[in-house]
């Protein structure tokens, strides 16, 4: 592993180097001025760069945003003794500049923080090598996936926060590609959206889910992700017919809409939603707080559930703003009479916190990753 430390304070640079050498094997070089970074990255392929933001001459922010793409380190850790806000915004800038791994840390850095960063970096590098996060599927492959039935669902259990009782699942689509293995939505959703195939996917996922649910005993609730495009044509009859074929009660289904596009108030969409709600189908606003016009959507569409985005939940114990956004989203859900769901709960401490503030449901790696139907069945027994 090739590490580069960019830090003008020589004492801090040495301390970091000593700390790093306890955790990794490899080369650790240090430079003290921003103007030497481009050259250093050109000469050696850097895996991970630790970069102070506040450098004399070229500062860290300008440096990271202008470094030529072909010479960039694989990952970057932004360091600052300044306000956490500055670290956070620089971290976001790195992600949007296309660094595939980025972290922001306020100085001084502890040994535990460093260990965590190195573990995360290692994990991400491995994922990329195994191709889980990789090239998007081609248009042709998307078509083949539909015609050959490569789309399958995994199911992530949802639990009551207060009792830890498993009460439902969210269906999450995967593509079982014959050469590339199991692909996550990140590999195919954007191409699929460009090709305007969202609606076709919705019906495939719904039917697969209803079919899978017949293999389970008991009355699990089922959440399905849906793009607003699927509401633009009359669809409620077809929806109820399908529920009828698989003998699944519509009132056990919740449709999740993400707020990533401006909401559509066309007559057909509203009529579909009215018909679905009449038969008890739930409607969730997914990834709440991350898209456009969330509040105006809440005002018009008949939501029954609010899913607090994992970005806030994941940082609720680490970052003051994320914590406040979690609390505000929860209060909003409560005041509107919506069921609240926390997404992406990864550890027991976060779960305990959600219990303390009174979130209704949660899903996340702390309890279970999304699993194939056979595993879900085993989990329920
Ligand atoms: P989403 O609906 O917000 O789903 C939650 C995502 O968070 C899932 O990613 C899930 O695997 C992941 N997740 C769950 N627990 C944790 C956790 O503890 N930590 C972390 N880091 N992640 C966790 P996935 O399956 O890759 O899906 C990504 C997105 O793709 C979904 O976000 C949803 O917007 C979209 N998607 C998935 N299935 C479908 C589908 O059938 N139709 C449509 N239109 N979109 C779908
Ligand atoms: Mg969802
Ligand atoms: Mg979500």
Query: pTM for this structure?
Result: 0.77
Average pLDDT over residues 89-114: 84
Do the strands 151-160 and 361-362 form a parallel or antiparallel pair, or are they unpaired?
antiparallel
pLDDT for position 127: 65
Residue-range domains of the chain with CATH? 2-127 (3.40.50.2300), 139-380 (3.20.20.450)
Is pLDDT of 12 > 90?
A: yes
Is pLDDT of 123 > 90?
A: no
Q: Would you place residue 352 in the very low, low, confident or very high pLDDT band (cuts 50, 70, 90)?
A: very high
User: Hey, whose CA ends up nearest to atom 30 of ligand 1?
Assistant: 185
Average pLDDT over residues 196-221: 96
Average pLDDT over residues 128-150: 81
Question: Are 122 and 74 within 8 A, CB to CB?
Answer: no
CA dist., res. 30 & res. 133, Å (int): 31
pLDDT over 70, % of the chain: 96
pLDDT for position 167: 97
pLDDT for position 262: 57
Is pLDDT of 114 > 80?
A: yes
pLDDT for position 282: 98
Is pLDDT of 170 > 60?
A: yes
Average pLDDT over residues 97-117: 87
pLDDT for position 207: 98
Is pLDDT of 134 > 70?
A: no
User: Hey, whose CA ends up nearest to atom 21 of ligand 1?
Assistant: 344
Question: Going by C-beta distance under 8 Å and a sequence separation of 6 or more, which residues neighbour residue 224?
Answer: 170, 171, 202, 205, 206, 209, 253, 254, 255, 256
Specify the ligand 1 atom closest to the Cα of 198. Answer: 44
Is pLDDT of 233 > 90?
A: yes
The rounded mean pLDDT for the chain is 91
User: What residues sit around ligand 2, an ion, with C-beta below 5 angstroms?
Assistant: 225, 256, 286
Is pLDDT of 133 > 60?
A: no
Q: Residue-wise over 302-332: b if at least 16 C-beta within 10 A, else e?
A: ebbbbbbbbebbbbbeebeebbebbeebbeb
**337 Cα–ligand 1 center, Å:** 25
User: Hey, whose CA ends up nearest to atom 27 of ligand 1?
Assistant: 185
Question: Which pLDDT tens digit goes with each residue over 236-292?
Answer: 999 999 999 999 999 999 999 986 665 677 899 999 999 999 999 999 999 998 876
The count of other CB atoms within 10 Å of the CB of residue 244 is 12
Average pLDDT over residues 121-141: 74
**What does R_g of the chain's alpha carbons equal in angstroms?**
23
Average pLDDT over residues 351-375: 97
DSSP-derived secondary structure for 41-105: HHHS--SEEEEES--SSS-HHHHHHHS-GGG--SEEEEEESS-HHHHHHHHHHHHHTT-SEEEEE
Q: Would you place residue 69 in the very low, low, confident or very high pLDDT band (cuts 50, 70, 90)?
A: confident
Q: Would you place residue 97 in the very low, low, confident or very high pLDDT band (cuts 50, 70, 90)?
A: confident
User: Hey, whose CA ends up nearest to atom 35 of ligand 1?
Assistant: 185
Q: Would you place residue 131 in the very low, low, confident or very high pLDDT band (cuts 50, 70, 90)?
A: very low
Question: Going by C-beta distance under 8 Å and a sequence separation of 6 or more, which residues neighbour residue 194?
Answer: none
Is pLDDT of 132 > 50?
A: no
**18 Cα–ligand 1 center, Å:** 39
Closest CA to 2 of 60, 45, 63, 38: 45
User: 48-57, 225-234, 290-299 — which is least confidently predicted?
Assistant: 290-299
**Residue scoring higher pLDDT (127 or 336):** 336
Q: Would you place residue 344 in the very low, low, confident or very high pLDDT band (cuts 50, 70, 90)?
A: very high
Is pLDDT of 21 > 60?
A: yes
């Amino acid at each position: 592993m090739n590490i580069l430390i960019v830090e003008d304070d020589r004492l801090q640079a040495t301390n970091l180097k000593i700390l790093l050498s306890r955790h990794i094997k490899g080369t650790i070089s240090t430079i003290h001025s921003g103007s030497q970074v481009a050259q250093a990255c050109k000469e050696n392929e850097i895996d991970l760069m630790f970069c102070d933001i506040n450098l004399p001459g070229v500062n860290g922010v300008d440096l990271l945003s202008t470094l030529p793409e072909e010479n960039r380190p694989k990952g970057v850790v932004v360091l600052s003794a300044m306000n956490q806000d500055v670290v956070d915004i620089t971290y976001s800038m790195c992600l949007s500049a296309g660094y595939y791994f980025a972290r922001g840390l306020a100085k001084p850095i502890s040994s535990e923080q460093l260990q965590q960063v190195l573990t995360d970096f290692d994990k991400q590098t491995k994922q990329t090598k195994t191709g889980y996060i990789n090239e998007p599927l081609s248009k042709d492959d998307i078509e083949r996936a539909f015609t050959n039935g490569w789309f399958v669902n995994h199911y992530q259990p949802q639990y009551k926060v207060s009792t830890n009782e498993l009460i439902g699942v969210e269906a999450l689509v995967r593509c079982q590609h014959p050469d590339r293995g199991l692909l996550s939505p990140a590999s195919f959703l954007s191409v699929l959206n460009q090709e305007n195939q969202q609606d076709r996917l919705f019906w495939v996922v719904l039917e697969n889910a209803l079919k899978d649910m017949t293999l389970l005993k008991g009355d699990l609730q089922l959440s399905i992700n849906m793009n607003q495009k699927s509401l633009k044509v009359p669809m409620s009859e077809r929806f109820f017919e399908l529920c009828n074929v698989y003998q699944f009660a519509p009132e056990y289904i919740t449709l999740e809409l993400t707020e990533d596009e401006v909401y559509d108030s066309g007559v057909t969409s509203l009529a579909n939603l009215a018909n679905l709600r009449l038969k008890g189908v739930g409607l969730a606003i997914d990834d709440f707080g991350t898209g456009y016009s969330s509040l105006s959507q809440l005002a018009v569409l008949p939501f029954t559930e609010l899913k607090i985005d994992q970005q806030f939940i994941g940082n609720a114990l680490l970052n003051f703003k994320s914590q406040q956004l979690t609390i505000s989203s929860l209060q909003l859900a409560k005041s509107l009479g919506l069921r609240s769901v926390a997404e992406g709960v990864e550890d027991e401490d976060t779960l305990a916190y959600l219990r303390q503030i009174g979130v209704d449901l949660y899903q996340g790696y702390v309890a279970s990753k999304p699993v194939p139907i056979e595993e879900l069945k085993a989990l329920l027994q």
